[in-house]
Amino acid sequence: MLASRLLRQSACQLPIRHAISPPSTLLRPRARAFHATAPRKDAVDPLLYLPHELLQLMHTALPWYAAIPAAAFIIRGILVTTATSRVRERTSRYAATNPLRMALALSENHRLKHQNKFDTMKQFHTTLARNVKQKVKGLDTRWNCSHPLLISLSWAVMQIPIFIGNAEVIRRMSGTHEGLLRLAANSIGVTKSAGENGYYAKDVAENPWFDASLANEGALWFPNLLEVDPTGYLAYSVSALMLLNIYISGNGPRTAGEVQSKWSVRGRRIMVTVALLAGPLLQGLPSGMLLYWVSSTSSAILWNAYLDRKYPILTGYGPCKRELVNMDRQPMNKLLKGRL
């Protein structure tokens, strides 16, 4: 009887509707079923669509050794005609209004000296700098101009993504896995994977960006644009062109009496150092990427020469060479009253 009671189900106990899964099923990780779908596209693929289509369009009429320089020249021309010309106009207006800034500073200095309400010279200079900054800011806003250094830095920052995007397109078309920094490290022996191909393989099935015609449409000493330049001349050509561009831009027309600030001098030294290191560091890049780099830098030099002729920066607007004399108003008023 006791055994029958133990086997009998209690009336208060709810029936189990779902069977308890075994422990092996609970600990089993969840895995999705495999589907033969296309691989997920990279996030930057939409941004690289236009540069890639431009290169392919140029390649329909020109071989790659001419299509890459032509595309670089067209891209630089679009930037110059749309944005750089406006930058030059603002720089010219800044140079033309430079005497007004000096006159505002002199006038404010004269006004604060006659107030005689400063205990120390530090307070005087602090107030003078703040007032001059406010007046100069209003002048720049009225004439829609700003300091040339700020304009140059902002424009340089805007050009970097465009250059990197075009270089990325050619890198994928060349079937090279490493980027600029990785290839530079490989060229000096920092890493041991130089020359290895990864995700962007030299196969159309695995890499839809790959273009095999780059291997046969080189020129001169670099007939294969997929391989590294055997002589290394392209990398040192990039270095020489960068130095030439820095020299031309740093020795252009300036405002009379203008002295370069310490930050501009330091920035120029950094750019010269980078240009000197470009030759040995870029030896591991494919010839196609180096050809684009050479073409882009050469196009920048040519378009800058066009800007210097079409939109020249005004020169000769500096401080007055004569000694400015601040005449006191009180003696002048007494003199006028005596004559009247």
Taking only the tens place, the pLDDT of each residue in 80-118 is 887 777 777 777 788 778 888 888 888 888 888 887 777
Taking only the tens place, the pLDDT of each residue in 49-82 is 888 888 888 888 888 888 889 988 998 888 888 7
Q: 299: helix, coil or strand?
A: helix
What does the pLDDT read at residue 196? Answer: 43
Taking only the tens place, the pLDDT of each residue in 202-231 is 555 466 777 777 788 778 888 888 888 888
What does the pLDDT read at residue 223? Answer: 84
The vertex-162 CA angle with 156 and 167, nearest 5°, equals 120
- Inter-residue contact 86 to 144 (CB < 8 Å): no
Q: Strands, E, within 72-127: which ranges? A: none
**Identity of residue 127:** T
Name the pLDDT band for 152 (thresholds 50, 70, 90): low
- Inter-residue contact 223 to 252 (CB < 8 Å): no
* Cα(218)–Cα(50) distance, integer angstroms: 23
What does the pLDDT read at residue 336? Answer: 41
Tokens for 10, please give them.
Answer: 């209690």
What does the pLDDT read at residue 197? Answer: 39
Tell me the mean pLDDT in the region 3-15: 50
What does the pLDDT read at residue 323? Answer: 58
Tokens for 290, please give them.
Answer: 């180096």
For residue 153, pLDDT beyond 80: no
Cα separations (Å) of 153 from 98, 148, 161? 20, 9, 14
Taking only the tens place, the pLDDT of each residue in 157-203 is 777 788 888 888 888 887 776 555 555 555 555 444 433 433 444 55
Looking at every residue in the chain, the average pLDDT score rounds to 72
Taking only the tens place, the pLDDT of each residue in 283-332 is 878 888 888 889 988 988 898 888 888 877 766 666 656 555 554 445 44
For residue 340, pLDDT beyond 50: no
What does the pLDDT read at residue 334? Answer: 47
> Whose structure tokens read 């294969």?
224
Nearest to 166 by CA among 263, 229, 78: 78
Tell me the mean pLDDT in the region 238-247: 88
Q: 67: helix, coil or strand?
A: helix
What does the pLDDT read at residue 195? Answer: 38
Nearest to 313 by CA among 135, 152, 132, 77: 152
Taking only the tens place, the pLDDT of each residue in 249-288 is 765 445 444 556 677 777 788 888 888 888 888 887 888 8
